[in-house]
Amino acid sequence: VAEQIANEIKTGGNPAGIAVIARRHADLEKLLPFLAQRDIAVEYERRQNILSSEPVQILELLARVVLGIAYRDDNLVDSLLPELISHPAWQIEPRDLWQIGLSANRQRKFWLEIMLEYPGKTCEIAEWLIVMGAVARVNPLEFVLDRLTGNESSDDDFTSPIYQHFFNPEKLRLDPNAYLKYLSDLTTLRQVIRDYRNDDEQLKLDDFIEIIDSYRSLGRQITSVQKISSCTKCVQLLTA
């Protein structure tokens, strides 16, 4: 296909008038390296279900833990906390994670209790989670989401590492496509939240989880659309 397009352009064909239509977006992505080898510029839209996007997933998991703390659902928090703090954004060493789990099992305590007994960062994370449980009960959703992502400065001793993990300058330099995709995913999520509420309604973190659960229960996707183009006269890549 790439060779056929290259020959068409060499014989005077207008790249903007050429389109490749595939059934799945993954098929188009497989074609991209072959087009790049032939210096063929392309334009396409990347559609992504943001519920499967890594920063959205960790934000959802963090929100569930914080709500569990807020409403004293200790068993729920204990079931979710190991997965949450295992994410590299928190920078907790695997040995420490193992030790926390071992201590919780031996002492018959919750993970959060054991984390509070640890010095340094691990204790700071636990204390911050508890504070966020209180914050989430009384503050508007968007304010809470800013605190949970680390996109809002505060007087807390600890700041969520999520935003810095996904959107630091080094990530932008090394993988700008992933950086922009994740940014688009979070922007789409915010817009869905704004569209969900009435003008006089103030949403809370509970509503955030309710929105996500409602989409999943109905088998619906929250789709982020990112337009990718390398020129004004490009071959169009489309999905049927």
SS (H, E, C) the chain: CHHHHHHHHHCCCCHHHCEEEECCHHHHHHHHHHHHHCCCCEEEEEEEEHHHCHHHHHHHHHHHHHHHHHCCCHHHHHHHHHHHHHCHHHCCCHHHHHHHHHHHHHHCCCHHHHHHHCCCHHHHHHHHHHHHHHHHHHCCHHHHHHHHHCCCCCCCCCCCCHHHHHHCHHHHHHCHHHHHHHHHHHHHHHHHHHHHCCCCCCCCHHHHHHHHHHHHHCCCCCEEEEEEECCCCCEEEEEC
pTM: 0.80
Mean pLDDT for each consecutive 10-residue tract of the chain (240 residues)?
Answer: 85 82 74 81 77 95 98 97 97 96 96 94 96 95 94 76 93 84 89 78 92 93 73 69
- In the prediction, which pLDDT does 110 show? 97
